[in-house]
Amino acid sequence: MCEVTGLTVRYGPSVVLDIPALRVYTGEILALIGPNGSGKSTLLRVLGLLQQPSSGEVRFRGTPIDFRRSTLAWRRRVVTIFQEPLLCNTTVFRNVSLGLRLRSVPRQTIPSRVEAWLHRLGIRQFSDRQVKTLSGGEAQRVNLARAFVLEPDAFLLDEPFAALDPPTRRDLLRDLHHLLRETEVTTIFATHDLADVMSLADRVAVMLGGRLVQLDTPARVLKVPVTEGVAAFVRSEAEERVHPSP
């Protein structure tokens, strides 16, 4: 689905991302884990064509992306979901239909597509509600419905459930896992939570200091970390899960 080679991002003299090579396969769910500042969000912005790399190449379905020209056509094939839902101040229905309307989808087909995804995400009863009246979990379900209804080639998720309480997070993860497997949409998501990794990911990429340090199955990363840095990060996250900070 997508591939990067020789990818770097620099802020002045500082190299914040240095990925010699990475391939993400069609239908795969890849988790990005690492401490704050490890480069996860920067990598997602580059893959979402929201940030131009300092050097290197990004390919989608074998086609290299020219960041010097308009990337709108490619960006429309990728949906990025952030921690904050970033919903418009209107109804749930109009939020979910927004992307379809912006893409000039035939008006008569929009209601059925929107209603189908509202139903699948368990928020059909909120169709006429103003989004400002929703809880955090409900708002994030609207955000997911707005993404799924576009039928993208790939999802990029930047810790979308980090601010939710554990029961809400658990329910959303369960439903998201089911929908991703059903639709087979290629997904790359950044997270701190090892439970997310174990429940969703086919592979996990461990990032430290802007570099991709280990790329393997979740089980092997947890059981056979390749460096002491990976082992220390995995250990600290596991301890945080057992003994969360107050």
The number of residues making up the chain comes to 246
63-64 and 78-81 beta bridge pairing = unpaired
Contact 186, 24 (CB under 8 A): yes
Asked if residues 74 and 61 have their Cβ atoms less than 8 Å apart, the reply is no
Inter-residue contact 5 to 42 (CB < 8 Å)? no
Give, for all 246 residues of the chain, the pLDDT tens digit: 999 999 999 998 999 999 999 999 999 999 999 988 889 999 999 999 999 999 999 999 999 999 888 788 888 889 998 888 889 999 999 999 999 998 888 999 999 999 999 999 999 999 999 999 999 899 999 999 999 999 999 999 998 888 788 888 889 888 999 999 999 999 999 988 887 888 889 999 999 999 999 999 999 998 998 999 989 888 877 666 544 555
pTM over 0.85: yes
Question: 53 is written with which tokens?
Answer: 């790399």
What domains appear along the chain, each with residue ranges and CATH number?
Answer: 1-70+186-246 (3.40.50.300)
Predicted pLDDT at 238: 65
Provide the token pair at 165: 């309480």
Res 241: pLDDT: 56
SS3 for the chain, per residue? CEEEEEEEEEECCEEEEEEEEEEECCCCEEEEECCCCCCHHHHHHHHCCCCCCCEEEEEECCEECCCCCCCHHHHCCEEEECCCCCCCCCEHHHHHHHHHHHCCCCHHHHHHHHHHHHHHCCCHHHCCCEHHHCCHHHHHHHHHHHHHCCCCCEEEEECCCCCCCHHHHHHHHHHHHHHHHHHCCEEEEECCCHHHHHHHCCEEEEEECCEEEEEECHHHHHHCCCCHHHHHHHHHHHHHHHCCCC
